Structure 1
């Protein structure tokens, strides 16, 4: 897996390697190159990391950047403050799903909007990509809904509990 960096003035995104994800899963975050704010690692983040590890073990390292979490690093503190990533390579229809989270103290600052924009721009380099989806976004999660709208995702479907978004390229 190529260790690439995506950066803006405030944040840098770096893809986490399989061993780095395994260290997070095992609560060995002190073994990582970057310090991670423990408030960024929610229970659901660990569940997602376990799923990512299982998928990454089955695919070529050449596509790990599509399966892993990218660590969101605060450029001032150099600390990991959140995670963002896709759930694999684009499917046969050309779409890929995104997921993300950020430590509570970094919310409502536009940081996740920056992170999603950076990762989306990176993904655009894949000629097979037709769009990015965000599925099962809780309607009560106003921050996440706002991030998606700020990044030009369009609401495509809605249930009583969830919103579904698409960024068509």
Structure 2
């Protein structure tokens, strides 16, 4: 996998390798180059990582950046504070779904908006990517809904419990 790191004023986004995801899955995070705040590794993140490992094992390594989590690194202390990534390469319509999480102590600092903006810019460089979706976003997750709105996603459908968004390039 191309170990391209994306950089902004406050953050680095580093795509995690299959091996690095395996370390997180196996509770062996000290083997990863960057220190990761244990608070960033929620149970649902570990479940998502196990799904990512299955998918990554079955696809060409050249497309791993579309399947992996990118570690969100706070440049001020070089600590991993969250994860962001796609659920795979763009589909037949040119869209890929994004998912993300961040340590509770790092919320409300604009980190996730900045991380998502960086990943949007990365994805927009691929000719086959026409946009990004975010589905089943809980209405009660005000922070996540605000991040998507801050990044210019449009609400396309809604139920009593969830919102579904799209960003078209």
Structure 1 residue 86 displacement after superposition = 0.2
* Structure 1 residue 130: Cα displacement: 1.0
> What is the match of residue 94 of structure 1?
94
Corresponding residue number in structure 2 for 1:6: 6
How far the C-alpha of 1:133 sits from its partner, in A, is: 0.1
Aligned to 1:139: 139
1:32-71 CA-to-partner distances (Å, cap 9, x unmatched) read 0000000000000000000000000000000000000000
SS at match of 2:152: coil
Gaps of 5+ in 2: none
Q: Match for residue 18 of structure 1?
A: 18
For 1:25-36, what aligned pairs fall within 5 Å after superposition?
A: 25-36=25-36
* 1:132 Cα deviation after fit: 0.2
1:131 Cα deviation from its structure 2 partner = 1.0
Q: Deviations over 1:45-103 (max 9, x none)?
A: 00000000000000000000000000000001100000000000000110100000000
Q: Distance in 2 between matches of 1:3 and 1:141?
A: 32
When the two structures are aligned, how many residues end up with a matched partner?
Answer: 169
Unaligned runs of 5+ in 1: none
What is the aligned partner in structure 1 of residue 106 from structure 2?
106
Return the TM-score normalized by structure 2: 0.99
Task: Give the match for residue 60 of structure 2.
Answer: 60
Q: For the residues of structure 2 that align with 1:32 and 1:5, how far apart are their CA atoms? A: 15
Write the distance in 2 (CA, Å) between the matches of 1:129 and 1:62.
16
User: How far 1:106 moved relative to its partner?
Assistant: 0.5
Give the Cα–Cα distance (whole angstroms) in 1 for the partners of residues 60 and 99 of structure 2: 21
